[in-house]
Homo-oligomer: A and B are copies of this chain.
């Protein structure tokens, strides 16, 4: 694992970026989970998004990039749950 020489200030910038994008993601995911309504969600786009986050986390691990690992692992949890609910809704028999 290659750990780049990054100053604490720059690393702090990374964690701030991680905080903002992760924070901005949660309300939408929580709203979807509470309402159970995934009709507005495109399975294809959400699948791409969730796969992308997983890859970013793996990439962060290989580059030894803390903010990348934290931001994407944290976001992966609600993203994965919403994706799973979307899949469930597509499998459920139409009433």
Contacts and interface: CB of A to CB of B under 8 A. Distances in A.
A27 B14 contact: no
How many copies of this protein are present in the complex? 2
Contact of A21 (B18, B24, B56, B65): B56
B63 A48 contact: no
Contacts of A22: 52
Interface of A: 2-6, 10, 13-14, 16-25, 27-28, 40, 42, 45-46, 48-49, 51-53, 55-56, 58-59, 62-65, 67-68
22 contacts: A4-B63, A4-B64, A10-B62, A13-B55, A13-B58, A17-B55, A17-B56, A20-B48, A20-B49, A20-B51, A20-B52, A20-B55, A21-B48, A21-B49, A21-B53, A21-B56, A22-B52, A23-B48, A23-B52, A24-B52, A25-B49, A28-B45
